[in-house]
Amino acid sequence: MKSTEVYTMITGASMGLGKEMAMECARRGRNLILIALQGHNLEQFCIELEYKFRIRAVFRECDLTDEQALTGLAGDIILNFSVDQLINNAGAGGTARFEDASPEYLDNIIHLNIRATTMLTRLLLPELRSHPKALILNVASVAAFGALPYKTIYPASKAFIYSFSRGLSRELHNTGVRVVVLAPGPFISNPDVMHRIMKQGLFARLGVLPAREITKQAISGAENGEEVIVPGVWNKFNRFLIRWVPEYFRLYMMAGILKKELP
């Protein structure tokens, strides 16, 4: 039987920004459906959230790059839960020479960052529209605003998320569904990410914010009616630079910075 309580669904909820999103939503009294891969201890995390914040938290383990599994997940959610908020946070990236990256590595980024976000949004949209007010929060990146050498596919995929979100926002303007896009700068989600950011030098470290601060700005901004959220003064300035600095110079400069991450 379908639940009468409303839920926020968060993908990539086992670590990093997704985990902080779950905690921030729970602090605000939101019931949660948390999605992540198997083996990330989601059950224990849900128990902790329920005990600490007195909300309901359930989980589903799913590989969102698996088309059949994603469709099945969406059907399960629609059948059993009332969802008025969808946070598409799951994503993948990394640094590598394009010619050295395996086809499987590239395909995983494309499927997770682009296809999973698109299809989950489409499949859950009728459910979201059944509520007087609903929210779709898509996580892009400040990298969405400009190409990056040695990352090639990642910023391109986040540019898709940004463009998709802005276009869909206008389509749904006269409905109860609001579409918000979050474009965070770098944040430390695990030791590997910290190592890569440190190798990029001072320029990269200036934009680093704690995941919890990014999440607070994202949720508060969405509640206050913002449609594009770029957390942090430096990241807002960086967006301005990307727009106005000549592309050739910017690509030359970023190639020197990002090349430091390569093995």
pLDDT tens digits for range 186-198: 776 555 555 555 5
Number of alpha carbons in the 13 Å side-chain half-sphere of residue 201:
9
Q: Which domains does the chain have, with CATH numbers?
A: 6-261 (3.40.50.720)
Question: Is the model more confident about 239 or about 225?
Answer: 225
* Residue labelled with tokens 């001072």: 202
pLDDT at 167: 98
Q: Please provide residue 152's backbone torsions phi and psi, each rounded to the nearest 5 degrees.
A: 20, -70
* Cβ atoms within 10 Å of 195's Cβ, excluding its own: 11
Q: How far is 86 from 71, CA to CA, in rounded Å?
A: 15
Q: Give dist(CA 180, CA 202) in Å, integer.
A: 30
Phi then psi for 31, rounded to 5 degrees?
-70, 150
What confidence category does residue 165 fall into, taking pLDDT thresholds of 50, 70 and 90? very high
- 130-162 pLDDT, tens digit per residue, is 999 999 999 999 999 999 999 999 999 999 999
**pLDDT value at residue 196:** 56
Please indicate whether residue 236 or residue 23 has the higher confidence score (pLDDT): 23
Res 202 pLDDT > 60:
no
Give this prediction's pTM.
Answer: 0.90
